[in-house]
Amino acid sequence: MTGKPSKHPDKSTAVSTPEGDTLQGWIPDIADRKELFEALNKAFDYRGDVTITRRDGSTLEGYIFDRRTGQSLDDSSVRLMPVDTDDKVEVRYADIARLEFTGKDTAAGKSFENWIKRYVEKKQAGEKASIESESLD
């Protein structure tokens, strides 16, 4: 089942991989090893913050900047930079109970192809089109 996250995703319900160019708001179903590995691969490529809920109930929000994939959940981990500290934290895959794509994906819609398309559309409409990049904010 594939679904799009709503503007205000239901945090209590996991949804399948969303369609579109952003994962923001997605709460993947990580019921088995394969789903967890796939979701964390997407989280590693995501350019926004994620929230990890550990099996002990604690949560950690931050940007995943590194992953170490082993043969099992116990020898695989992600490292992230939490939003509230300069420390870097390592979390074993086996300790992850829930994963949420909570932060804005700063790269969504910022591909070179999208930039060219917007540039051409502005030029064709007779608007000023600049080669300057747009702000990430």
Domain residue ranges in the chain:
33-105
Work out the mean pLDDT of the chain and round it to a whole number: 78
Regarding pTM above 0.75, the answer is no
If we measure between CA atoms, which residue out of 69, 92, 66 comes closest to residue 79? 66
Cα angle 118, 121, 123 (rounded to 5 degrees) comes to 110
pLDDT of residue 109: 60
* Residue 132 pLDDT > 70: no
> Is 96 a residue whose pLDDT tops 80?
yes
Helix/strand/coil (H/E/C) assignment for every residue in the chain: CCCCCCCCCCCCCCCCCCCCCCCCCCCCCCCCHHHHHHHHHHHHHCCCCEEEEECCCCEEEEEEEEEECCCCCCCCEEEEEECCCCCCEEEEHHHEEEEECCCCCCCCCCCHHHHHHHHHHHHHCCCCCCCCCCCCC
pLDDT (0 to 100) of residue 118: 77
User: What pLDDT score does 21 carry?
Assistant: 56
| C-alpha to C-alpha distance for 64 and 78, rounded to whole angstroms | 7
User: Mean pLDDT across the stretch 82-102?
Assistant: 93
More confident residue, 12 or 44: 44
Domain made up of 33-105: CATH architecture: Roll (2.30)
Residue 97 confidence (pLDDT): 95
Total residues found in the chain within this entry:
137
The pLDDT tens digits for 101-115 are: 998 766 666 666 766
Q: How far apart are the first and last CA of the chain?
A: 33
* Structural tokens at position 31: 């019921």
